[in-house]
């Protein structure tokens, strides 16, 4: 493993942190000032290449996920002025397809040639690699989105300052990431499947995600923590080997049931209300506006 390590917190620059746990020969630590949790080790390009070699993309797109995409876009609609939307780390463009069909001018970034090719074939304007502000006019986007990406990077301030540059004044960011304070992580601790090096390098809570965005010039509009992954709970506890995203997973079966059954849907809303109130849902979702 690479010997390079972080000398300060990735959010508040405090040089002091305490150990949390050791996993995959790497040390998870917590800043003593702001509470941010991150892996101390800095993976090399070779480590990352080895880890992500053959990194699978599940092509299954749930109709429930499409419905959620429409709900997100409904909430983003009031911010439409230029009509331009950028999804950072857009995968093979599922969200951008839905946005494009609703009349947005869609742009995306991704690292692999194959993902870029697939997105281009869908009529999505793409740039390969890390987000580069030189590829777009400053202040040219109404909306930036990023789904389950920020946990993979260990330079979050640098990344969000790029977001700030590309958004117009009053533009909005919608971002999702695993919630470190989730009930699942608390129960499973080191067995939690979300905690893995070098795939996930940074771990956010509502407090630390808000602090990061505020340091980079954004104001919080809303933060939610919702959902419990039965699949991840079972896999982490060693009771299942099912894939996380598939039509046959426990999570997907439950999602479909909750969409089709009114009483189950009411139960879902009640559970999510409680998870959000206590800040312990699996998924952390934030809306932030450029000040």
**Domains, the chain, ranges and CATH?**
60-290 (3.40.50.150)
Determine the Cα–Cα distance for residues 127 and 109; give it in Å rounded to an integer.
5
Q: Indicate the helix (H) or strand (E) that contains 166.
A: helix 156-166
**pLDDT band for position 182 (cuts 50, 70, 90):** very high
Query: For the residues 196-220, what does the mean pLDDT come to?
Result: 97
Given a cut of 90, whether residue 282 has pLDDT beyond it is yes
**For a pLDDT cut of 90, what percent of the chain falls above it?**
91
Determine the Cα–Cα distance for residues 204 and 151; give it in Å rounded to an integer.
8
Determine the Cα–Cα distance for residues 47 and 49; give it in Å rounded to an integer.
5
Tokens of residue 246, six digits: 């598939």
N-to-C CA span, the chain? 41
pLDDT at 149: 96
Q: Yes or no: say if 247 and 267 are a contact pair by the CB < 8 Å rule.
A: no
Determine the Cα–Cα distance for residues 103 and 83; give it in Å rounded to an integer.
8
pLDDT at 269: 96
Say if strands 105-110 and 84-88 run parallel, antiparallel, or are unpaired.
parallel
Tokens of residue 279, six digits: 């800040």
pLDDT at 51: 77
* Phi-psi map region of 207: left, alpha, beta (phi>0 left; psi -120 to 50 alpha): alpha
- Burial call 105-120: b when 16+ CB within 10 Å, e when fewer: ebbbbbeeeebbebbe
Pick from 40-54, 76-90, 145-159, 188-202: least confident: 40-54
Q: Indicate the helix (H) or strand (E) that contains 106.
A: strand 105-110
pLDDT at 227: 97
The 10 Å Cβ neighbour count of residue 263 is 8
Q: Yes or no: say if 204 and 282 are a contact pair by the CB < 8 Å rule.
A: no
pLDDT tens sequence across 78-125: 999 999 999 999 999 999 999 999 999 999 999 989 999 999 999 999
**pLDDT band for position 52 (cuts 50, 70, 90):** confident
**pLDDT band for position 57 (cuts 50, 70, 90):** low
Determine the Cα–Cα distance for residues 59 and 253; give it in Å rounded to an integer.
17
Residue position matching structure tokens 């040219």:
140
pLDDT at 284: 98
Given a cut of 80, whether residue 59 has pLDDT beyond it is no
Determine the Cα–Cα distance for residues 205 and 11; give it in Å rounded to an integer.
12
The residue with greater pLDDT, 280 or 53, is: 280
pLDDT at 54: 57
Q: Which of 19, 23, 22, 25 is nearest to 37 (CA)?
A: 19
Q: Yes or no: say if 204 and 151 are a contact pair by the CB < 8 Å rule.
A: yes
Q: Yes or no: say if 42 and 14 are a contact pair by the CB < 8 Å rule.
A: no
Question: pTM here?
Answer: 0.95
Given a cut of 60, whether residue 237 has pLDDT beyond it is yes
Tokens of residue 151, six digits: 């946990």
Determine the Cα–Cα distance for residues 78 and 65; give it in Å rounded to an integer.
22
pLDDT tens sequence across 12-47: 999 999 999 999 899 999 999 999 999 999 999 888
């Amino acid at each position: 493993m690479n010997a390079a390590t972080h000398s300060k917190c990735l959010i508040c620059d405090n040089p002091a942190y305490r150990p949390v746990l050791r996993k995959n020969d790497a040390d998870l630590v917590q800043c003593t000032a702001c509470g941010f949790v991150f892996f101390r080790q800095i993976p090399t390009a070779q480590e990352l290449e080895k880890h992500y070699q053959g990194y699978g993309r599940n092509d299954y797109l749930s109709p429930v996920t499409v419905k959620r995409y429409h709900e997100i876009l409904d909430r983003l609609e009031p911010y439409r002025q230029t009509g331009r939307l950028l999804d950072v780390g857009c995968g093979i463009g599922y969200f951008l397809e839905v946005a494009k069909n609703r009349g947005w001018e869609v742009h995306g970034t991704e690292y692999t040639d194959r993902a870029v090719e697939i997105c281009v074939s869908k009529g999505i304007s793409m740039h390969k690699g890390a987000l580069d502000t030189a590829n777009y006019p400053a202040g040219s986007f109404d909306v930036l989105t990023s789904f389950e990406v920020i946990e993979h990077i260990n330079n979050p301030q640098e990344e969000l300052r790029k977001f700030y540059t590309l958004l117009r004044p009053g533009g909005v960011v919608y971002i999702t990431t695993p919630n470190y304070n989730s009930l699942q992580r608390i129960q499973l601790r080191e067995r939690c499947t979300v905690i893995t090096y070098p795939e996930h390098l940074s771990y956010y809570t509502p407090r630390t995600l808000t602090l990061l965005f505020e340091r980079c010039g954004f104001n919080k509009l809303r933060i939610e923590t919702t959902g419990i992954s039965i699949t991840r709970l079972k896999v982490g506890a060693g009771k299942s080997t099912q894939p996380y995203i598939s039509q046959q997973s426990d999570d997907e079966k439950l999602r479909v049931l909750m969409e089709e059954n009114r009483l189950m849907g009411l139960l879902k809303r009640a559970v999510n209300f409680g998870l959000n109130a206590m800040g312990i849902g699996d998924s952390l979702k934030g809306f932030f506006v450029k000040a």
